[in-house]
Every structure is written in C-alpha cells, then in structure tokens.
Amino acid sequence: MARPLPAMATEALPHPPHRLPVLGDVLSADAARPAQRLAELAGFLGPIYETKIFNRHLTVVSGPAAYTELGDEKRFGKHVGFAFAASREFLGDALPTAYSDEPNWARAHNILMPAFTLSAMRGYHDIMLDTVGELITHWDALADGDTTVDVHTDTSKLTLEAIGRIGFGYHFDSFTRSEPDPFAVAVARMFAYIGRAGFRIPVHWLENAVHGKDIRQNARDVDYVRHVVDDIIRERRGHPEGRPDDLLALMLSTADPESGERLDDENVRNQVISFLSAGHETTSGTLSFALHLLATHPEIADRARAEISSLWPVDAAPEPVFGDVHKLRYVRRIVDETLRLWPIAPGYFREPKQDTTLGGHVVRKGQALLALTLRVQRDPVWGPNPLAFDPDRFLPDRARTRPVGIYKPFGTGMRSCIGRQLALHESTLALALILHRYELDPVPGYQLEVAEEFTLKPVGLRLGLRRR
C-alpha cells in the first residue's frame, strides 16, 4: 500500500548550509554514513533541524527533551521512514514495515509477543549455547597463532545461525561451509540495498540509469529469497508432524486472540525474511562493537572476567544454565553501554498523530521525524565525558540521576523491537563465553570505522585471540 510523502514543516527550521534547488542538502549529506553525518550536523544546527534530499523532507530530533517528547504515544506514532518504506517492496506488512493501522501488524504482534517474553528465552537458551559453541570451536582453530579473526563476519554467522534455528528450524551451517550460504548472502545484499533508500533518485528513468545494476541484482535476490522461504512454508504446511516448536510453527498454527484471524502465507513469508535480517544484524553488530570496546579497554574486560569466573571457573568448560545469564550483571551493563555508544539502529521514525508542537516548533500530522538515538545517547546529559566507555553508567543509582526516556536503542512504544529480550540474552551469553575463553588483542593501528547498511556495523574489525 503506497502512502503519500510525509508532510513538510510549515515554519522555518535550521537546515544544512549550501542547499541546492531540486537536489536539496546533498552537499551536506553522506550516503555511506547518513546517521553519523546527521549527528555531526546536529552539533551546529541544534536539537531540531530539517534536511531534505530531492523531495524527501526529514525533521531530525537530536536533543534529549524533544527526543523524550517523541515517546508520548498519545501524540506521536511510528512513521514508516524511507528505508522501511523501501523495504515494503519485498517485506510488505511485516512487523517492522507495516503501517500501524494495517490489520496484519496487530495480528502478527499479538501472535508473536508470547514468543519474545523473558520467560520464552528459556526455550531458546540451549540453541544459543550450541551456536556460541560452534563459534568458539571455529576460533579455537585460529587462536594462539598469528591469525586474527574477522569479528563482524563471524558474529554475523553466529547470530544468523541462532535466529535461523530458533525461528524456523533452518541451519545455515555457517561455520562448516566452505562458501557462505547463498540465501544468507542474498538477504544481506537485500538489506544493504534498502539501506541506501534515502538517496534514491525520485525520477524513475534516471534512478534506473544510475543504479540499474543494483536494482536488477536486488530483484533477483528478492525472487530467490521468497522462493526459498515459500518452499519452507509449503513443506511445513504439508508435514506439520514432528516439526520444531518455533516461530514459524507459531505463525502457521496460531490465531490472533483478539480477532480470531490467522496470518496468510504471504505475510508469514514476509515475517520470516524480516526476522532473519533484523534478528541477526542487530545482535551481531552489538557483539562486534562490544568486543572492540573490550579489546581496547582491558581493565573492563578483566572486571567482566572476574564476574564470569565466579560462575564458571576458568580451568573448566562452562556449562551455563538459563539462570546464569541473569547473574552476569556487569556483562549485561557492558551490553547496555555498548548499545548506548553504538545503537545498532541509530534512530527511529515517528510522526505526529495530529498537528502539534515539538520543542516549540510546529509539526504537522504525518510529518517524518527522526529520533536520532545515536546523538541523544552521547549527549552531555549522560554526565561528564559521555563518549567514554563506562558500563557503570547503568548502575541503578546512576541511572536514577538521568532523565527518563533518553535510552532507547530498541525504539519506543508498541512499535519498538519485538526481539529485544532475545537480543539481550544472546549478547550477554555470547560475550560471557567469549571472555571466559579468550584474551582479546586489538590490531595495532586499527581505528574504528562504522558502516551503515540499514544498521551500524564496524568496518574491517579484526582481533587477535589468546586462549586463557
């Protein structure tokens, strides 16, 4: 379902310098790192400003007070922003891309919510343990030599295996295959493609002329991914007996408790594809950034190991049970602080439900507003030196001194990330097992560079590993 372009603000807001006719603010933008560039622009344009590329207007909200206002569910709701709107070309009304008034959003949310509660994590714990074990076996073959590990490639394999097995009983065999699974490659390429949606040329023939090769590749990827998932659904429908009790089974066999309606196969397919991407991209990025931060802050890694060793002695193979993860309070604070500095989703889109004001500025119903989490979570409101890596920011006493509503790495309200508990449990468990097994050595001279392909991820991050 196509929706009109978002409304424009009706009063002047600050905007980047050197705005051009038709092209807008392309001279101030950075297609390779759009969110990071928006955060930089906020440094001199202020807590609320406007930017536009071609005919796409966006109001950027980067101050804590206005950011907190956007969390008011009575006044603001989810806006299906540019990349998410582009994703509808192949995800339709899946959970992340649906408009809030589309029936399938409520149906899928009601059906799937029980599968993502904290208590539901107990059923996924052993799968996570198996997949982390496969990562460690892979790294053991490389540790203590001169070889460094490609961190983000391997954490992506880990998290894709976990969501594939937890969600759909699908094994990618990432750590044993000589070549990447073609399905995984196609999914990754699709989401990299839509990550560039904000810079699409709004003239169809010109966009085809400039990016025709990428457009054609994306069409092939979409056809292939849909074909694979449709085959999985048909096979499961035809042979439901003996199949795992997973997310796919839940979607195929459960009716919405409110409406009594079930999801059709097309929507189930869309949900599967969105979970396979969002369910691994977010967690793999979190783990990669956390490992970089721990390698460059060995005193914090040592403190985490002291906590881990109190549960699993260093001279024995750990056998973590579900309840152990909740005892890893310092490791969990490391995860929280990593997500503060590097929220994998660097912002989320909101829109006014009616004409209103925001930070003293008029904003119109349906207007595209970007809550720039990446900037707000580095604001001085977090205390002295907000750019420093300090997991103790999340001690309860310190957390109570901060304004409410400024830490939202998973979005806000009913449209926040449904898989939050899954991501946090998996990240905490994986970090603890990696720190229990290895000392982390940064590569001399490496400077963190962050890519943006729908989510944030480190570029070229490699670490040396030494078995403990």
Question: Which DSSP string corresponds to 314-379?
Answer: TTS-----HHHHTT-HHHHHHHHHHHHHS-SS--EEEEESSSEEETTEEE-TT--EEE-HHHHTTS
pLDDT of residue 213: 81
Which member of 282, 283, 338, 428 is catalytic? Answer: 282
Neighbours of 258 (CB within 10 A): 11
Lookup result for tokens 């205390």? 383
CB 171 within 8 A of CB 245: no
Which member of 172, 183, 394, 410 is catalytic? Answer: 410
Mind listing the domains of the chain with CATH numbers?
A: 26-467 (1.10.630.10)
Q: How far is CA 194 from CA 47, 88, 221, 463, in A?
A: 27, 10, 12, 30
Amino acid at 53: I
Residue 370 CA to residue 356 CA, distance in Å, equals 16
Give the H or E element holding residue 292. helix 265-295
Residue 337 CA to residue 432 CA, distance in Å, equals 15
CB 463 within 8 A of CB 149: yes
Catalytic (active site) residue 51:
no
pLDDT of residue 261: 94
Classify residue 468 by its DSSP letter: -
In this structure, is the dihedral angle defined by the CA atoms of residues 126, 128, 133 and 134, taken in order, positive or negative? Answer: positive
Catalytic (active site) residue 286:
no
Residue 131 CA to residue 154 CA, distance in Å, equals 11
Neighbours of 11 (CB within 10 A): 11
Structure tokens at 122: 């107990």
CB 295 within 8 A of CB 301: yes
Q: How far is CA 351 from CA 86, 356, 367, 368, 374, in A?
A: 17, 10, 5, 5, 19
Closest CA to 248 of 202, 287, 221, 279: 279
Three-state DSSP at 31 gives coil
Lookup result for tokens 């699993």? 312
Residue 368 CA to residue 58 CA, distance in Å, equals 5
Q: How far is CA 423 from CA 39, 106, 191, 364, in A?
A: 25, 22, 19, 35
Contacts of residue 165, Cβ cutoff 8 Å, sequence gap at least 6: 127, 130, 131, 171, 246
With vertex at residue 189, the alpha carbon angle to CA 165 and CA 347, rounded to the nearest 5 degrees, is 85
Which member of 97, 131, 417, 455 is catalytic? Answer: 417
Structure tokens at 264: 């059709």
Residue 123 CA to residue 127 CA, distance in Å, equals 8
Catalytic (active site) residue 116:
no
Structure tokens at 321: 């049970």
CB 175 within 8 A of CB 132: no
pLDDT of residue 343: 97
Residue 196 CA to residue 88 CA, distance in Å, equals 14
Closest CA to 90 of 234, 267, 270, 257: 270
Cα-Cα end-to-end distance for the chain: 55
In this structure, is the dihedral angle defined by the CA atoms of residues 265, 268, 274 and 279, taken in order, positive or negative? Answer: negative
Closest CA to 31 of 172, 180, 197: 197
> Would the annotation count 245 as a binding residue?
no
Structure tokens at 467: 């078995």
Contacts of residue 213, Cβ cutoff 8 Å, sequence gap at least 6: none
Closest CA to 240 of 229, 250, 231, 249: 249
* Model pTM score: 0.93
pLDDT of residue 183: 87
Length of the chain: 468
Lookup result for tokens 């881990």? 308
Neighbours of 216 (CB within 10 A): 11
From first to last of its 468 residues, the chain has per-residue pLDDT tens of: 455 545 554 458 999 999 999 989 999 999 889 999 999 999 999 999 999 988 889 999 999 999 999 999 999 999 997 778 878 888 899 999 999 999 999 999 999 999 988 888 999 999 999 999 999 999 999 876 778 999 999 999 999 999 999 988 888 999 998 888 888 888 888 877 776 665 666 656 666 676 778 888 888 999 999 999 999 899 888 887 766 678 999 999 999 999 999 999 999 999 998 888 877 888 999 999 999 999 999 999 999 999 999 999 988 889 999 999 999 999 999 999 999 999 999 999 999 999 999 998 999 999 999 999 999 999 999 998 999 999 999 999 999 999 999 999 999 999 999 999 999 999 999 999 999 999 999 999 999 999 998 789 999 999 999 998
pLDDT of residue 10: 45
